[in-house]
Amino acid sequence: MNANADFKAGDRVRLVSMTDDPDPIPAGTIGTVVVVYSHQDWTQVDVAWDTGRSLMLSIPPDVVERVEPPAADKP
């Protein structure tokens, strides 16, 4: 099972690296997961980036990490 398949819509994520894209999202950019498509050996994650761009990730090879909301925002 792909370790990244546990992302869900609404999760906040930070891009660590993106390969093989002619116009990549810069590393460190934060966005919100829109939808996740899990496949046998990889996961496709559609992200609405805070910069206004919308670009899907292919994991692997792209690497993204979950960003926890500040403690004040947690229920």
CATH number of the domain where residue 8 is located: 2.30.30.750
Which residues pair with residue 55 across a beta bridge?
47
What is the spatial distance between Cα 73 and Cα 64, in angstroms, rounded to a whole number?
A: 22
The tally of domains found in the chain comes to 1
60 pLDDT above the threshold of 60: yes
pLDDT tens for each residue of 2-42: 444 589 999 999 999 998 888 889 999 999 999 999 998 99
pTM: 0.81
Tell me how far apart the alpha carbons of residues 21 and 66 are, in angstroms, rounded to a whole number.
21
In a domain, 73, yes or no: no
Inside any domain, residue 75? no
How many of the other CB atoms lie within 10 Å of CB of 54? Answer: 12
Q: Is residue 39 part of a domain?
A: yes
Quickly state the pLDDT bin for 75 (edges 50, 70, 90).
Answer: low
Whether pLDDT at 54 is above 60: yes
Residue 46, domain extent: 3-67
62 is a domain residue: yes
Within a domain: residue 74? no
